[in-house]
């Protein structure tokens, strides 16, 4: 990798439900609040800006929905809370068989520098958590975030991220 290359996050997970069920769990705030956000100002619809709040943070995040293809694709942009840098998130749903969907998340992009690497680490962890929580909720009705430890409020040892 060249030092000048832009950083991107790319992760995915199979969920044993149809693309329709997974899509609705992502765009419908009443469902999304059971595994990812605490509240939203509305459904994710193309051209609309919604505001998300997360249970771990006392901040609101504007989400500018760019494109929505029902049961297949969602893209939006949002700003990093620390430095205001905007990134684009693309969520792709691919039907693998009758009752299995591959969910892929791509977030792009940041400069390959200290701030970018910090973003890459934090948001990669965040998207892995999103996918695990989405899977638990859609497949089993479990909210993995409820009662979870907020690691950002735990004491940190010197030199440990």
Domain ranges of the chain: 7-144
Average pLDDT over the chain reads 89
* Angstrom distance (rounded) from CA 150 to CA 77: 25
What's the pLDDT at 160? 45
**pLDDT at position 156 over 70:** no
What's the pLDDT at 85? 87
* Angstrom distance (rounded) from CA 61 to CA 87: 12
The pTM of the whole model exceeds 0.85? yes
CB proximity list for 48: less than 8 A, separation 6 or greater: 42, 65
* CA distances for 140 relative to 25, 36, 70, 102, angstroms: 13, 15, 23, 17
Q: How sure is the predictor about 146, in pLDDT bands with cuts at 50, 70 and 90?
A: confident
Task: Give the residue from 35, 36, 86 showing the smallest Cα distance to 64.
Answer: 86
What is 7-144's CATH number? Answer: 3.30.530.20
Q: How sure is the predictor about 152, in pLDDT bands with cuts at 50, 70 and 90?
A: low
**pLDDT at position 48 over 80:** yes
**pLDDT at position 3 over 80:** no
Tens of pLDDT, residue by residue over 97-135, are 889 999 999 999 999 999 999 999 999 999 999 999 999
What's the pLDDT at 153? 58
* Angstrom distance (rounded) from CA 94 to CA 80: 28
Tens of pLDDT, residue by residue over 62-80, are 999 999 999 999 999 998 7
């Amino acid at each position: 990798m060249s030092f000048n290359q832009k950083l991107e996050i790319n992760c995915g997970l199979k969920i044993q439900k149809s693309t329709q069920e997974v899509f609705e769990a992502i765009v419908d705030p009443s469902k999304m609040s059971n595994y990812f956000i605490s509240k939203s100002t509305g459904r994710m619809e193309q051209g609309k800006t919604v505001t998300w709040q997360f249970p771990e943070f006392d901040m609101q995040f504007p989400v500018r929905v760019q494109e929505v293809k029902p049961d297949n694709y969602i893209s939006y942009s949002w700003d990093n809370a620390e430095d205001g840098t905007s990134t684009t998130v693309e969520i792709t749903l691919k039907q693998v068989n009758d009752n299995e969907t591959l969910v892929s998340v791509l977030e792009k992009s940041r400069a390959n520098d200290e701030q970018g690497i910090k973003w890459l680490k934090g948001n990669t962890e965040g998207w892995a958590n999103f996918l695990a929580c989405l899977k638990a909720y859609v497949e089993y009705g479990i909210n993995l975030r409820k009662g979870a430890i907020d690691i950002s409020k735990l004491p940190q040892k010197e030199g440990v991220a």
